Amino acid sequence: MNSFAPILVLAAIAAAFAVFSVIIAMVIGPSRFNRSKLEAYECGIEPAGHSTRDGRGPKVQRFPVKYYLTAMLFIVFDIEIVFLYPWAVSYEVLGLFALAEMALFVLAVFVVYAYVWRRGGLSWD
């Protein structure tokens, strides 16, 4: 337990700071609301939307699926890089088996990349 004490202390300090920051922001922060604060920000594009069927209620906004697809592709390939760094650092210790495993991993990611490219997921039309 003594070896985990610094980690637990750091986690407690981080949690206390997060809770303190949220509470202070609610207490001393301005609470003026307007319509522009409630609208979604779309990278500088004017938000487009429509009301519900009866004309009342909040505006329903639709985001193109391309935004989500781009985010998911970024996460997939970012995770690949995260897996490549430790392998590259300890390559000499791991040997030929690790080289074969990493080749299979890179091949699998390349197949996914080729599939997304072929399906048009990388074109922004």
> Per-residue pLDDT tens for 19-36?
999 999 989 987 777 776
As a whole-number percent, the residues of the chain with pLDDT over 70 amount to: 75
Residue 119: what pLDDT? Answer: 85
Question: Where in the chain are the domains?
Answer: 1-31, 65-118
Block residue for tokens 């069927």: 53
Q: Could you give the 3-state DSSP secondary structure of residue 34?
A: coil
Q: H or E stretch including 49?
A: strand 49-50
Tell me phi and psi for residue 49, to 5 degrees: -175, 180
> Per-residue pLDDT tens for 75-84?
888 888 888 8
> Per-residue pLDDT tens for 57-90?
556 566 677 778 788 888 888 888 888 888 888 8
pTM of the model: 0.44
